[in-house]
Every structure is written in structure tokens, then in C-alpha cells.
Amino acid sequence: MADFLFLSRFRVVISEKTNKRLIGKGVEKVVAETCFPIKVAHGHLLDLIDKGVDTIFLPSVVSMPLSHPSLDRSFVCPYVQSFPYAVRSALDFKSYGVTVLTPVIKFADDPKVVEKELVKMGRKLGKSADEVREAIRKAQNRPGQFRSLPDTAGAKKRSKTSNPGTSHGCHQSPLQRLRPGVNLGLPQKLRDLGVTAIPMDMLPLDEVDLVDQWQDMYWKYGQKIYSAAQLVRNDPRLHAIYITNFACGPIPSFSTSSRKSFATSRTWSSRWMNTAPT
């Protein structure tokens, strides 16, 4: 989506890296008890407002692309889907003079539906339908490049670790993986210990067929976690680290069944961690 905005020739401003100040601002504003990443998201919106942006792109992402033919649903967490609406109870965007654009994006549906939503949003910003379609087309080519990078890098990392027990599969969402302020620098700490930390998305998750056991799993990250579990279980070089977020609903409750899925994995329990905000 960021590519789409850049390619639509908007001047795009990105919030700063997650840090204690930004986290504190988000925590102060939040009006309902939510998980840590949602609190952090409040802080990022406040940072954008402080930076003087006039429009914030805050899509309601309902589903993600289906990664395997055996799957027919791939929803994101309800907190994420509803965040663009819920956050309005905490932040009065009108009083800040900020317009918030919230297209409803269902990546698992027909791409034409996504295109229609973005064309509608583009019109509000003075872009023609053709300009928006062109930006979508170019942006769609870029994720392919992005996806192939982790796949290649992940394969390289795995191939480097020929001895069983020297590599770790690290279960993380992109938020946990990309933001040291959220993951408490755990990947770096592992590297400092001489351990190769491989984020979950760098494993070939799409190659795993979940149809036998987990076809009913409709949560995108549940699908990813189960796929990673199978890969870790079958690769003696990999060990699992399961990182959850403070006050997350699905991930910890999901952990019991995924623990079973890792049952024959080698060092599960000793590497079970929770990340908390402070």
C-alpha cells in the first residue's frame, strides 16, 4: 500500500520509528484496553499529526491474499480491521484538521473490488481512475520483488546453518519483526549470542499445505504460524521462538494448539517468550 501511495505521486510522510516517547503518547490517548501494538498505532498517528500531515491513509484491511489453493479465507485480526473506526473515539481528527481516508481493503477478494475502493479514494484526492489503476499495476509488481527477497535471504540463511541446532525460526508478525521498539531488540540480542534469527516470513510458508489439519484456520497469522510449525518440525536446523504481544487476544490463546503442532519440535518450551511494553 505504501508503494501505491508513492506511485500515485503523493508526498508521503512516514511516522518515526517506534520509541518510548511515541509509545507513551499512544498509551496516554487510548480509551479502551487493547493490545500493545494497537496502543503503539495510536502513537504513530499522533506522530503524523505532529508532523503536520493533512491526510492520513488508514485503510481497514479485512483480509490478506490467499497464500495456498487449499485455503478459502485469510482474515486479519479484528483489532486491526476495526482500528480505523475505533481510534476515532480516542483521536478527534477533525479538531487536528486532519482528513482520514479509510478504504475497506479485502485482499482475499477479487482484485477488482480492491481497485474500485482505491479509485474511489483517489478521486477524493484529485487522481483520475487511470492514474490510480496505473499506480496499482506498478505497486503490484513490487511486492513480488519484496517477497522474493526474504525467500532468497531465508534460504541462504538456512543453507548456511548445516549443523542441527544452530539456527532458529523466529515467529514474528511484520510489526514485531520490523520495529525494535516493539520486539525489544530480540533479533539483535539473538545475533549477539551468535544465533541466526530467521523471521517467520522468511520461511517458505506458502509451500505448506494446511488442508489436512488446519483448513478451518481463517486467521492469516494463524495460517502462517501453523505453516512455520510444520517447517520447523521437519528441519532439524530450526528451533522455534514464539513471541506474543502484551494483551494480545489471539496469539496467546492460539499458543496451546500451535504448541501441539510443534510437538516434535526440539526446543519449544525453553524459548517461549512474551514481549511487554516496558
> Is the distance from CB of 93 to CB of 100 less than 8 angstroms?
yes
> Is the distance from CB of 84 to CB of 58 less than 8 angstroms?
yes
Spatial distance between the Cα atoms of 220 and 243, rounded to a whole number of angstroms: 16
The answer to whether residue 248 forms part of the interface with ligand SF4 (CB under 6 A) is: yes
| Residue number, 96 or 242, with CB nearest to ligand SF4 | 242
The answer to whether residue 182 forms part of the interface with ligand SF4 (CB under 6 A) is: no
The answer to whether residue 35 forms part of the interface with ligand SF4 (CB under 6 A) is: yes
Spatial distance between the Cα atoms of 157 and 161, rounded to a whole number of angstroms: 7
| Residue number, 35 or 198, with CB nearest to ligand SF4 | 35
For residues 64 to 83, the per-residue mask of contacts with ligand SF4, x marking binding by CB under 6 A and - elsewhere, is: -------------x-xx---
| Residue number, 39 or 158, with CB nearest to ligand SF4 | 39
Q: How far is the CB of 248 from ligand SF4 (least distance, A)?
A: 3
**What's 215's DSSP letter?**
T
Task: Give Cα 19 to chain centroid, integer Å.
Answer: 18
Closest CA to 66 of 242, 250, 223: 223
Spatial distance between the Cα atoms of 123 and 101, rounded to a whole number of angstroms: 12
Indicate the SS3 state at residue 118.
helix
| Residue number, 136 or 182, with CB nearest to ligand SF4 | 182
Spatial distance between the Cα atoms of 218 and 71, rounded to a whole number of angstroms: 8
The answer to whether residue 249 forms part of the interface with ligand SF4 (CB under 6 A) is: yes
Indicate the SS3 state at residue 278.
coil
For residue 59, CA distances in Å to 106, 144, 184 come to 10, 21, 27
- Number of residues binding to ligand SF4, judged by CB under 6 A: 11
The answer to whether residue 250 forms part of the interface with ligand SF4 (CB under 6 A) is: yes
Residue from 22, 23, 30, 38 touching ligand SF4 (CB under 6 A): that is 38
| Residue number, 159 or 253, with CB nearest to ligand SF4 | 253
Tell me whether strands 240-245 and 167-171 are parallel, antiparallel or unpaired.
parallel
| Residue number, 38 or 136, with CB nearest to ligand SF4 | 38
| Residue number, 196 or 250, with CB nearest to ligand SF4 | 250
Q: How far is the CB of 245 from ligand SF4 (least distance, A)?
A: 4
Residue from 18, 22, 37, 59 touching ligand SF4 (CB under 6 A): that is 37
The answer to whether residue 210 forms part of the interface with ligand SF4 (CB under 6 A) is: no
Rg (CA), the chain: 20
Q: How far is the CB of 183 from ligand SF4 (least distance, A)?
A: 12
Residues that bind ligand SF4 (CB under 6 A): 35, 37-38, 77, 79-80, 245, 248-251
